[in-house]
């Protein structure tokens, strides 16, 4: 007889950030500095006593909404076979169909979906990447968290040195400052600091209009960047496509899109060279894998956004050599650390995602709910 889902524990967790974070959206007045990240954590227990853990997240707003929606729909999984992940994902979608298939509606499901995949891999005694089918046991990794616009350039350079010495294989800095001279001065300083051959990326966080983006992208061509990220509004498919055709430097985008359907427009309109889906934002691992198959067929490079604990496994399954973003913000949530060596992030050999929650998570938990029986 198949194992069944007995209990799902949901936790809303607020992770405080040590330093308020500012990118271009703050400097243009569209957002306040980020001081915390909300996480929705799902812990699934089966009748046989097996456990899986997953998470999704939101920055600045949306955490309580994700928690509430997940609580409403998760009871449809009680008594179900946890191995039937695709069917269960559709069942949850239909349970919340009136609020659609993007945004909070799918981000709430992502934590549960990830927990189901973690559980399935643990049952098989395999790392998640091996369960899905890995192309490699490590992935190129780059650091973003040291290059935000609120940091003085001296601090950015120190962070870059520290990351490089730690084995990080690339550095990304934030641009999109209202004064383009600031962007160019910071980029020049970082390129000179790293040397011509070290992989360097920039991220404008959607803050340029079309004429500005064209000018800035052309001005940045001589810097030999791996990519220019989110030069335009995330939903400006046509503008991104025009840039991708006009600029030799690869154009990257996709992290802010919250469904597979939205990413399909990026692919159909050839709006990017590097696609940057985020599994927690698009609905979990099930949806990410559906999208990555299509992206690979289109010949796109892959660089998943944030959540390296999930994306290291998923990037390892992509047929084209990918990048994974290194953020240490989530370190307080997990007992384990991602291993970095020679510019690459090593795929964990532990079963499942290979992470366990810390006790600190409990102290940051602001709300809990359970469905089923313990």
Question: How many CB atoms sit inside 10 A of residue 288's CB?
Answer: 28
Average pLDDT, the chain: 95
Residue 1 scores a pLDDT above 60: no
DSSP characters over 155-216: HHHHHHHHHHHTT--EEEEE---SSHHHHHHHHHHHHHHH-TTS-EEEE-TT---HHHHHHH
Per-residue model confidence (pLDDT) at position 26: 87
Per-residue model confidence (pLDDT) at position 18: 85
Per-residue model confidence (pLDDT) at position 199: 98
CA angle 313, 241, 248 (to 5 degrees): 80
Per-residue model confidence (pLDDT) at position 373: 86
Residue 74's nearest CA partner among 12, 9, 3 is 9
Q: Which band of pLDDT confidence, cut at 50, 70 and 90, is reported for residue 82?
A: very high
Per-residue model confidence (pLDDT) at position 206: 95
311 catalytically annotated: no
Strands 228-229 and 274-275: unpaired
Write down the CATH number for the domain with range 129-346: 3.20.20.120
Q: Which residues are annotated as a binding site?
A: 23-25, 59-60, 172, 203, 205, 229, 255, 325
Q: What pTM, to 2 d.p., does this model score?
A: 0.95
CA distances 86 to 20, 117, 286, 315, Å, are 39, 10, 7, 20
**Choice among 62-66, 133-137, 216-220, 250-254 with the minimum mean pLDDT:** 62-66
Separation of alpha carbons 147 and 142, rounded Å: 11
Separation of alpha carbons 257 and 268, rounded Å: 15
- In sequence order, the β-bridge partners of residue 274 are 252, 301
Q: Which band of pLDDT confidence, cut at 50, 70 and 90, is reported for residue 98?
A: confident
**What's the rounded mean pLDDT across residues 106-118?**
97
Print the SS3 string covering 326-345: ECCCCHHHECCCCCEECCEE
How many residues are recorded in the chain?
374
Per-residue model confidence (pLDDT) at position 60: 83
**What's the rounded mean pLDDT across residues 300-313?**
97
**What's the rounded mean pLDDT across residues 248-262?**
96
Q: Which residues are annotated as a binding site for substrate?
A: 23-25, 59-60, 172, 205, 325
CA distances 101 to 39, 76, 89, 311, Å, are 20, 17, 11, 22
**What's the rounded mean pLDDT across residues 159-166?**
94
SS3 42: strand
The one catalytic residue among 305, 311, 313, 326: 305
The reply to whether CATH 3.30.390.10 applies to domain 5-125+358-372 is yes
Q: Which residues are annotated as a binding site for Mg(2+)?
A: 203, 229, 255
Q: Which band of pLDDT confidence, cut at 50, 70 and 90, is reported for residue 362?
A: very high
**What's the rounded mean pLDDT across residues 298-321?**
97
Residue ranges per structural domain of the chain: 5-125+358-372, 129-346
Per-residue model confidence (pLDDT) at position 192: 97
**45 within 8 A of 7, measured Cβ to Cβ:** yes
Separation of alpha carbons 317 and 131, rounded Å: 10
Pull the structure tokens for residue 166.
């730690």
The one catalytic residue among 174, 263, 311, 326: 174
- Percent of the chain topping pLDDT 70: 100
174 catalytically annotated: yes
**What's the rounded mean pLDDT across residues 296-314?**
97
Q: Do domains 5-125+358-372 and 129-346 have the same CATH topology?
A: no
């Amino acid at each position: 007889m198949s194992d069944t889902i007995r209990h799902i524990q949901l936790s809303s967790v607020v992770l405080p950030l040590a330093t308020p974070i500012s990118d271009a959206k703050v400097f243009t007045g569209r957002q306040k500095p980020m001081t915390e990240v909300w996480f929705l954590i799902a812990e699934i227990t089966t009748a046989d006593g097996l456990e899986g853990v997953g998470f999704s997240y939101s920055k600045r707003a949306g955490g309580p909404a994700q928690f509430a929606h997940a609580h409403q729909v998760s009871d449809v999984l009680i008594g179900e076979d946890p191995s039937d992940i695709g069917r269960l994902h559709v069942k949850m979608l239909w349970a919340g169909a009136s609020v659609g298939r993007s945004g909070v509606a799918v981000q709430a499901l992502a934590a549960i979906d990830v927990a189901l995949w973690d559980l399935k891999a643990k049952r098989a005694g395999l790392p998640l990447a091996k369960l899905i089918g890995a192309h490699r046991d490590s992935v190129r990794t780059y650091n973003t968290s040291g290059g935000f616009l609120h940091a003085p350039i001296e601090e950015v350079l120190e962070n870059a040195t520290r990351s490089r010495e730690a084995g990080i294989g690339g550095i990304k800095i934030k641009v999109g400052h209202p004064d383009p001279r600031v962007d160019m001065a910071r980029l020049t300083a970082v390129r000179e600091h790293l040397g011509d051959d070290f992989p360097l990326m920039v991220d404008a966080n959607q803050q340029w209009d079309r004429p500005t983006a064209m000018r800035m992208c052309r001005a940045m061509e001589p810097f030999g960047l791996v990519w220019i990220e989110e030069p335009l509004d995330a939903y400006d498919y046509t503008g991104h496509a025009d840039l991708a055709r006009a600029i030799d430097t690869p154009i990257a985008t996709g992290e802010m899109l919250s469904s597979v359907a939205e990413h399909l427009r990026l692919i159909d309109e050839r709006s990017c060279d590097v696609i940057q889906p985020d599994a927690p934002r698009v609905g979990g691992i099930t949806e990410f894998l559906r999208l990555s198959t299509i992206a690979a067929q289109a010949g796109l490079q892959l660089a998943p956004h944030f959540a390296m604990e999930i994306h290291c496994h998923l990037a390892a399954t992509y047929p084209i050599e990918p990048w994974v973003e290194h953020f240490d913000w989530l370190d307080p949530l997990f007992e384990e650390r991602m291993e970095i060596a020679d510019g690459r992030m090593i795929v964990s050999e532990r079963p499942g995602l290979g992470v366990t929650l810390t006790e600190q998570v409990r102290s940051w938990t602001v709300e809990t709910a359970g469905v089923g029986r313990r």
